Chains A and B, each alone.
Chain A
Amino acid sequence: MNDQVKSQNEFSNSEYQHGFYTEIAAETFPKGLDENIIANISRIKNEPDFLKDFRLRAFKIWQKMTPPTWAAVNFPPIDFQKISYFSSPKFQKDKPNSLDEVDAEILATFERLGVPLSERKRLAGVAVDAVFDSVSLGTTHQEELGKYGIVFCSFSEAVQKHPELIKKYLGSVVPSSDNFYAALNAAVFSDGSFAYIPPGVECPLDLSTYFRINAAETGQFERTLVVADKNSKVNYLEGCTAPMRDENQLHAAVVELVALEGAQINYSTVQNWYAGDATGKGGIYNFVTKRGLCKKDAKISWTQVETGSAITWKYPSCILQGDGSVGEFYSVALTNKKMQADTGTKMIHLGKNTRSRIVSKGISADDSVNTYRGQVKISSDAYNARNHTVCDSMLVGKKAKANTFPNIEVKNKTATVEHEASTSKISADEIFYFKSRGIGEEQAISLLLNGFCKEVFNKLPLEFSVEAVKLLEMKLENSVG
Chain B
Amino acid sequence: MTLLQVENLRAGMADKLILKDLNLTVNKGEIHAIMGPNGSGKSTFSKVLSGHPAYHVESGSILYEINYKLTNINDLSPETRAREGIFLAFQYPIEVAGVSNFEFLRASFNSVVSHQGGEEMDVLDFEDLVRQKLKLLEMDEKFLRREVNVDFSGGEKKRNEILQMAVLSPRLAILDETDSGLDVDSIKQVAFGINKLKNSDNAFLLITHYQRLLNYITPDIVHILHEGKICRSGDKDLAKEIEKNGYDRLISQAKK
Contacts and interface: CB of A to CB of B under 8 A. Distances in A.
Contact of A438 (B54, B82, B93, B97): B82
Contacts of B147: 451
B98 A439 contact: no
Nearest to B103: A447
Q: Which of A432, A438, A448, A454 has the most CB of B within 10 A?
A: A438
Contacts of B164: 437
A433 B94 contact: yes
Given A436-B50, A438-B115, A451 B98 contact: yes
Interface range on chain B (Cβ under 8 Å from partner): 20 to 34
Contact of B111 (A429, A433, A439, A448): A439
A168 to B, nearest CB: 45
A430 interface: yes
Interface string A417-450: 0000000100011101111111111010001101
Contacts of A443: 107, 111
Given A443-B111, A447-B104, A435 B99 contact: no
B77 interface: yes
Contact of A451 (B52, B88, B99, B168): B99
A178 B53 CA distance: 53
Interface residues of A, number: 21
A430 B149 CA distance: 12
Given A437-B108, A443-B111, A450 B98 contact: yes
Interface string B95-123: 01111000110011001100100000000
A436 B78 contact: yes
A450 B115 CA distance: 24
Contacts of A433: 90, 93-94, 96
Contacts of B99: 447-448, 450-451
Contact of B107 (A430, A436, A447, A454): A447
A464 interface: no
Given A434-B96, A443-B107, A451-B147, 13 more contacts: A430-B96, A432-B52, A433-B93, A434-B79, A434-B108, A436-B90, A437-B82, A437-B111, A439-B79, A440-B79, A440-B111, A448-B96, A454-B98
Interface of B: 50-54, 77-79, 82-83, 87-88, 90, 93-94, 96-99, 103-104, 107-108, 111-112, 115, 147, 164, 168
Interface of A: 424, 428-430, 432-441, 443, 447-448, 450-452, 454
Q: What 7 pairs across the A-B complex have the smallest Cβ distances?
A: A451-B98, A438-B82, A437-B108, A433-B94, A435-B78, A438-B111, A435-B79
